[in-house]
Amino acid sequence: MIGRLNHIAIAVPDLEAACDQYRNTLGANVGAPQDEPDHGVTVVFIELPNTKVELLYPLGEDSPIRGFLDKNPVGGIHHMCYEVNDILVARDRLKADGMRVLGTGEPKIGAHGKPVLFLHPKDFNGCLVELEQV
């Protein structure tokens, strides 16, 4: 059902410092920050030859990333995103297998402009999983 790894997301307490580290220390191609109000985050994508790293920073006081950073003040891996061909088919199959889809269960448009869903980390070995339709 899942396709390739689309990205690994890292919550960061200082977006500018994290971008500088990837750009200047690691020599990575760092994209521009983009606000995603529907998800309560500002994101920056770092392009790698085989995948992406997504830096997440809180956008607003109600951001889910704010709570994550309160528990992990230096930041850390937040989720992994896998591609799927049909997000509704994937959702229905996962729900039939007893997996929990977060939120309303309906896809939202993600940072790449494509439908996404998140799966409960307790169902996936403690890892929050994002599915993105390709």
* Catalytic residue status for 36: no
Give the residues across from 55 on adjacent strands.
10, 44
Tell me which amino acid residue 28 is. Answer: A
- Asked whether the beta carbons of 44 and 19 are under 8 A apart, the reply is yes
- Please state, in angstroms and rounded to a whole number, the distance separating the CA atoms of residues 18 and 103: 29
Q: Which of 36, 47, 83, 130 is catalytic?
A: 130
Please give the biggest Cα pair distance in the chain. 46
Query: Which sequence positions are flagged as catalytic?
Result: 130
